[in-house]
Structure 1
Amino acid sequence: MIHVAIISHDHEKLLINSSLGGLLPSQKNQTRLTLWIKDNKPSPDLKAYCSKHQIFYTDDDAGLGFGENNNYLFDLIQRKIGFQANDIFLVMNPDITVTPETVFALTEKMQQSDHAIATLNLYRDQAMSLPDKNIRHFPGMLSIVKMPLVNTFSETYDKDRIAAAAHDTPVEWASGAFLAFKPELYQALGGFDPSYFMYFEDVDICYRARRYHQQAVHYYPDLKAIHTAAHKNRNVFSRHALWFFHSFSKFLLRRYLRLNAVYSGKSARRSQT
């Protein structure tokens, strides 16, 4: 079973009108794919929509950060039905549009190759002509110097070069907008570090998976989806920008001072335990 975890934060219109359409339970996919939505700003419309379409919905503990919300859903799935052999826990943003066939193909490739964490090729437009920079190298101290010059906090991979190789490729980290895990790895990591309220929780979890569990993120260039990201952190005077730079600094300090916590199969600071 593929368990798709989606966190909504004023995304009810987006989810109802577009994103969930292709992933709704049907005779074709109801035994292979389930949707779990945690609403961070409770919406009666989204709740009613989920009830109508047999999507699990909860608005409990509203106000948690991105990582802690996904940890909440992971633990909820574990308590309610449990993870079985070959299950996948897929973290997905509300602004992702993807077909069930693409999700199935990704998870099948993960199982065949025994990859425990993976992502696909995201684009920023419907025509799939503008690549999303969802795969990157880990940021380092030099990133602070380079950022004003290159307008990015970490070096991106050349997707065209990877596509030319015609096979999946290990990368350092991938955006949490779409990130698939084998549940045993997610459990071993303790999920996302909840001390990152927003931003860099995906960098951190990929770093810990690689460093402490020898599990690199695998990128599948032939599998594609659309990510209509807002990039709210780009306004340097916004609250999102403050969260971004706070998390950026925290990751760098933990990386270089070796303060990363190694989570060994335990649920770390999760509100529902």
Structure 2
Amino acid sequence: MTIFISVVSHLHGELIEQLGCLAKLAERFKVVVKVNSEETYLLSYLKLHNINVIDTSYGLGFGHNNNIIYNYCEDKLGMNSNDYFIVFNPDVYVESEALAELVNKMFENNCQLAGANLFKNKELTIPDNSIRHFPTFLQFFKSFLGLGNSTIIDKSKVLKPIEVDWASGSFLAFKASHYRLLGGFDQGYFMYCEDIDICFRSNKIGIPLTFYPDIKMLHLAKHANRALFSKHFYWHLCSVGRFLLTKVGVTKPKSIIGLA
């Protein structure tokens, strides 16, 4: 049983070096970083720390990049169905022991898809709203208007592992065979809602995500500006529409060769 960590860098080289997390994780696990633009300095740093690098096909979306990493892990690194594939943001920090503990819990409980407890500060006292209920059109609409978000689950009330609808794509842990069964991320999304979608499709086949509140991690989230008429607002709007259509069975997921 091997743990494979999938990271996509969008000019995150400086942050990756400052955190030092991936270098530590690479001492124990298989870490793969796909750069999404030219980052010469980062490539040197990653190779120095025995981190696998994919330096091709720039400018792809979040899901597409992670699917490429998954295929790389299978084809080049020997990942098999009993291993674990973890989608991991460059701005997440976790100790190796905590990550190993999570995967051990997944193995013991035959858990196919899991999320961890993310926090916004080093003291792990400010929670990241990283677990939620599946949204409806009305909830999306209210969120866009700044009228609150009723999908957020209050993590302070969660004291033991529970099944939830979805967790942030900043950190998602899959049994490798389950990621393949799902066909990976839907590449019809460029950015936003890929995490909701893949958790929804997993839930639909009877395998909900399990949230482990005692596995704590730092997430230095810096959300892009979604001001009206910005490209991020446009991507978000398109993703919301795609998810709502997927939810009612109108839209089918797009994947890449090599995934089911």
TM-score, normalization by structure 1: 0.89
Of the three residues 220, 226, 229, the one matched with 2:218 is 226
Please give the alpha-carbon distance, in whole angstroms, between the structure 2 residues aligned to 1:184 and 1:239.
35
Residue correspondence of structure 1 range 162-201 to structure 2 within 5 A: 162-163=158-159, 167-201=160-194
User: How much has 1:71 moved relative to structure 2?
Assistant: 0.1
**Other-structure match for 1:123:** 119
Query: How big is each residue's C-alpha offset from its partner over 1:104-149, in whole Å with a ceiling of 9 and x where there is no partner?
Result: 0110000000010001100011111110011000111221443225
Q: Percent identity?
A: 36
Partner letter of residue 19 of structure 2?
S
Partner letter of residue 186 of structure 1?
Y
Check conservation: 2:245, 2:251, Cα contact below 8 A.
Answer: no
**Other-structure match for 1:40:** 36
**Other-structure match for 2:26:** 25
- List 4+ stretches of structure 1 deviating above 4 A: none
Check conservation: 2:23, 2:51, Cα contact below 8 A.
Answer: no
> Structure 1 pair 177/200, CA: closer, same or farther in 2 (3 Å)?
same
Please give the alpha-carbon distance, in whole angstroms, between the structure 1 residues aligned to 2:20 and 2:115.
18
Check conservation: 2:186, 2:197, Cα contact below 8 A.
Answer: yes
Check conservation: 2:82, 2:177, Cα contact below 8 A.
Answer: no
1:140 lines up with 2:136 in the alignment: yes
Q: Secondary structure at the match of 2:192?
A: coil
User: How much has 1:241 moved relative to structure 2?
Assistant: 1.5
- How many pairs are equivalent? 257
> Structure 1 pair 19/80, CA: closer, same or farther in 2 (3 Å)?
same
1:56 lines up with 2:47 in the alignment: no
**Other-structure match for 2:5:** 4
Check conservation: 1:88, 1:182, Cα contact below 8 A.
Answer: yes
> Structure 1 pair 19/243, CA: closer, same or farther in 2 (3 Å)?
farther
User: How much has 1:21 moved relative to structure 2?
Assistant: 5.3
Unaligned runs of 5+ in 1: none
Please give the alpha-carbon distance, in whole angstroms, between the structure 2 residues aligned to 1:15 and 1:270.
30
Please give the alpha-carbon distance, in whole angstroms, between the structure 1 residues aligned to 2:34 and 2:197.
22
Please give the alpha-carbon distance, in whole angstroms, between the structure 2 residues aligned to 1:185 and 1:260.
21
Of the three residues 84, 98, 105, the one matched with 2:101 is 105
Check conservation: 1:232, 1:241, Cα contact below 8 A.
Answer: no
Of the three residues 82, 87, 97, the one matched with 2:83 is 87
Check conservation: 2:64, 2:185, Cα contact below 8 A.
Answer: yes
Check conservation: 1:5, 1:89, Cα contact below 8 A.
Answer: yes
Q: Secondary structure at the match of 1:179?
A: strand
User: How much has 1:262 moved relative to structure 2?
Assistant: 6.8
Please give the alpha-carbon distance, in whole angstroms, between the structure 2 residues aligned to 1:24 and 1:173.
25
**Other-structure match for 1:259:** 250
Of the three residues 198, 206, 217, the one matched with 1:205 is 198
Please give the alpha-carbon distance, in whole angstroms, between the structure 2 residues aligned to 1:251 and 1:84.
30
1:250 lines up with 2:242 in the alignment: yes
1:157 lines up with 2:162 in the alignment: no
Check conservation: 1:22, 1:99, Cα contact below 8 A.
Answer: no
Q: Secondary structure at the match of 1:150?
A: coil
> Structure 1 pair 145/7, CA: closer, same or farther in 2 (3 Å)?
closer
Please give the alpha-carbon distance, in whole angstroms, between the structure 2 residues aligned to 1:62 and 1:260.
26
TM-score, normalization by structure 2: 0.93
Query: How big is each residue's C-alpha offset from its partner over 1:67-101, in whole Å with a ceiling of 9 and x where there is no partner?
Result: 00000000011111322353110000000011101
User: How much has 1:271 moved relative to structure 2?
Assistant: 9.6
**Other-structure match for 2:74:** 78
Query: How big is each residue's C-alpha offset from its partner over 1:248-268, in whole Å with a ceiling of 9 and x where there is no partner?
Result: 111112212x125378xxxx2
Q: Secondary structure at the match of 1:232?
A: coil
